[in-house]
């Protein structure tokens, strides 16, 4: 993008001449009101294509209890409420906001203040009868670069006592910068690409060693796993079981015989009686 120094074309903002990069201060005043003002609702409208609002630049040096919405398109709206009221019998600034002129596409620009409500203590809307605006143009302390209609970048010349942040570059410096950029581009494009000759040679393993390893693995897999033999029951343990059953049978038979003898003797005694 080419940089061309030019003298800023004149633009009128609220009938005040301004150049690209200039700061525009817009103030809303009120004066001559005999009754206190309890409610205020005002909208400031502007052309955002040419005037750039400086964030948080709106100030209220006199009123309190205000609310601001500066995120609207081409509009800043604020209101304030105080039951005790604000005295505007003398001249006071209600609000002050700052813009920067960033485009000269329109030769005439306007910043307006629309008084939506200006209520006294009796809630009577006094309208814009006691309000007026003041516009002030001042040069910016910072260098300004704007795009023209043909997409070339324009620079606004600054006062002599202001140090520009965009330092000038001599022809030799610019040529060195240009050559360095071209060299870097050439280097980037001529990076050697890998060839087939540069590929690493991978050694193939010996076929005989591979076959021997495979045969060893198959032999290991073919061997059957060791299976534990079933537990052997000792003969002595079986003999103990047999003895237990024999002794138990003899004991049962003896008990039956004793019961038979006792029963017979008892029956014989009763018969003798």
CA dist., res. 226 & res. 73, Å (int): 88
Across the chain, which distance is largest between two alpha carbons, in Å? 162
Q: Which domains does the chain have, with CATH numbers?
A: 3-156 (2.60.40.680)
Tell me the pLDDT tens digit for each residue of 118-136. Answer: 999 999 999 999 999 999 9
pLDDT of residue 56: 86
Nearest in space to 136 (alpha carbons), one of 13, 52, 44: 13
Pairing of strands 11-13, 144-147: unpaired
pLDDT of residue 147: 57
Whole-number percent of the chain with pLDDT over 70:
57
Least confident of 47-51, 170-174, 185-189: 185-189
Contacts of 84 (CB under 8 A, 6+ apart): 36, 38
pTM for the structure as a whole: 0.52
Q: Is the pLDDT of residue 111 over 80?
A: yes
Q: What is the DSSP letter of 64?
A: -
CA dist., res. 273 & res. 268, Å (int): 9
Q: How many residues does the chain have?
A: 273
Nearest in space to 76 (alpha carbons), one of 101, 59, 93: 59
Count CA atoms closer than 13 A to 266's CA, side-chain side. Answer: 6
């Amino acid at each position: 993008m080419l940089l061309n120094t030019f003298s800023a074309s004149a633009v009128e903002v609220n009938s005040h001449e301004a150049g690209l990069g200039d700061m525009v201060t817009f103030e809303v005043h009120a004066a001559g009101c005999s009754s206190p003002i309890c409610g205020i609702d005002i909208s400031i409208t502007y052309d955002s294509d040419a005037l750039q609002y400086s964030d948080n630049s709106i100030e209220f040096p006199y009123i309190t209890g205000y609310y601001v919405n500066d995120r609207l398109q081409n509009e800043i709206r604020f209101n304030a409420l105080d039951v005790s009221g604000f005295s505007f019998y003398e001249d006071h600034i209600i609000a002050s906001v700052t813009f920067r002129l960033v485009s000269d596409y329109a030769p005439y620009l306007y910043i307006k203040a629309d008084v939506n409500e200006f209520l006294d203590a009796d809630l009577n809307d006094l309208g814009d009868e006691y309000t007026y605006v003041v516009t002030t143009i001042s040069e910016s302390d910072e260098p300004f670069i704007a795009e023209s209609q043909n997409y070339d970048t324009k620079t606004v010349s600054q006062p002599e006592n202001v140090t520009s942040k965009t330092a000038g570059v001599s022809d030799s410096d610019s040529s060195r910068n240009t050559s360095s950029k071209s060299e870097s581009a050439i280097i980037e494009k001529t990076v050697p690409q890998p060839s087939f000759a540069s590929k690493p040679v991978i050694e193939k393993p010996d076929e005989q060693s591979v076959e021997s390893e495979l045969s060893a693995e198959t032999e290991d897999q073919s061997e059957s796993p060791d299976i534990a033999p079933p537990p052997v029951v000792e003969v002595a343990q079986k003999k103990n079981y047999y003895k237990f059953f024999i002794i138990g049978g003899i004991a049962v038979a003896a008990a039956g015989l004793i019961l038979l003898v006792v029963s017979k003797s008892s029956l014989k005694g009763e018969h003798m009686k």
